[in-house]
Amino acid sequence: MSAAATRLDTPVFQRLALIGIGLIGSSIARVARQRGLAGEIVVSTRSEQTLVRAEALELGDAYHLSAANAVRDADAVIVSVPVGASGAVAEQIAPALKPGAIVSDAGSVKAQVIAGMAPHMPQGVHFVPAHPVAGTEFSGPDAGFADLFDGRWCILTPPAGTDERAIERLADFWRGAGSDIEMMDPEHHDLVLAITSHLPHLIAYSIVGTAADLETVTNSEVIKFSAGGFRDFTRLAASDPTMWRDVCLNNREAILEMLGRFAEDISAMQRLVRWGDGDALFDLFTHTRNVRKRIIEAGQEADMPDFGRPHGTAPEE
């Protein structure tokens, strides 16, 4: 990881176009600049306000409201928009793409995104879909930071027959951003992410909704006593609504499969609680403890209590 933080002498891409400049796009811009991964960065977003903000933050070298204008002469294009919009972006940029350009994305869903983007890709353009598994609950160009991808996985899901050198160049870019690379087919990606990301978000949104709707416990009580555990869920439930609406609409089958299994497991737990089966509850609660240990060992979680949240205002003993 530390090697990734060093600045490259030769950029991976001479000109990188970023379509969408929210949390992910602006983090790509920052890390590309910081570590010399791109010679020139061209920024595009369809929101004039966001484009003005991106320029004020000096995220790129050039700024365009038109995605087609932004991709002209670019060696690589990374589309970081809500997944429901990626097909339309592909259609807009297609006529302006340079032969030999690499087109990628950062979407949390792959099969539907590929179905939406691939048909528009001109002959001679290399389409290498990708998903950096990283994020925070914040969104917009101010939310990004250069270290977001450091130590995280980037999953590439190129269609069969994709040019190997194009795949390798995109992998080099993400390695330069600090990420490890994993190859997957799109359908398997969507199943893996349904359990590791999509289901957790939907559950978090759901329980926060459940709590808000109670008649017997007030909303202000929920907020005051949230340190008992509830507050952990509110982080995921504060994520970008447009992004998550699009994930639900575009990974429906895998999400329904995981929601169905989870609902069964919740029913089984209800039954254990109702019948007071302490031994079975204890076994389940013991079994799950080990999973966190393995996540910490895998470098995907901080090894400190309570996520390393600050506690108190006084110096510790």
DSSP reduced 3-state for 47: coil
Contact by Cβ (8 Å): 101, 77: yes
CB of 208: closest distance to a copy of itself in angstroms? Answer: 4
Kindly tell me which of 48 and 289 has the beta carbon lying closer to a copy of itself.
289
- Cα–Cα distance between 170 and 186 in angstroms, integer? 17
- Cα–Cα distance between 1 and 283 in angstroms, integer? 37
- Cα–Cα distance between 313 and 317 in angstroms, integer? 12
- Cα–Cα distance between 24 and 33 in angstroms, integer? 14
Runs of H (alpha helix) within the chain: 23-34, 48-56, 67-71, 86-93, 111-117, 164-176, 186-193, 199-212, 219-224, 230-236, 241-250, 252-274, 278-297
DSSP reduced 3-state for 231: helix
3-state helix, strand, coil in the chain (%, to 5): 55, 10, 35
Kindly tell me which of 161 and 312 has the beta carbon lying closer to a copy of itself.
312
CB of 17: closest distance to a copy of itself in angstroms? Answer: 21
Kindly tell me which of 28 and 258 has the beta carbon lying closer to a copy of itself.
258
Contact by Cβ (8 Å): 256, 95: no
Kindly tell me which of 123 and 286 has the beta carbon lying closer to a copy of itself.
286
CB of 143: closest distance to a copy of itself in angstroms? Answer: 7
Kindly tell me which of 9 and 213 has the beta carbon lying closer to a copy of itself.
213
CB of 31: closest distance to a copy of itself in angstroms? Answer: 9
Kindly tell me which of 59 and 170 has the beta carbon lying closer to a copy of itself.
59
DSSP symbol at 276: T
- Cα–Cα distance between 246 and 147 in angstroms, integer? 26
**Which amino acid is it at 240?**
D
CB of 94: closest distance to a copy of itself in angstroms? Answer: 26
CB of 194: closest distance to a copy of itself in angstroms? Answer: 8
CB of 114: closest distance to a copy of itself in angstroms? Answer: 19
Residue 299: how many other CB atoms lie within 10 Å: 12
Kindly tell me which of 87 and 166 has the beta carbon lying closer to a copy of itself.
87
Kindly tell me which of 87 and 135 has the beta carbon lying closer to a copy of itself.
135
CB of 272: closest distance to a copy of itself in angstroms? Answer: 8
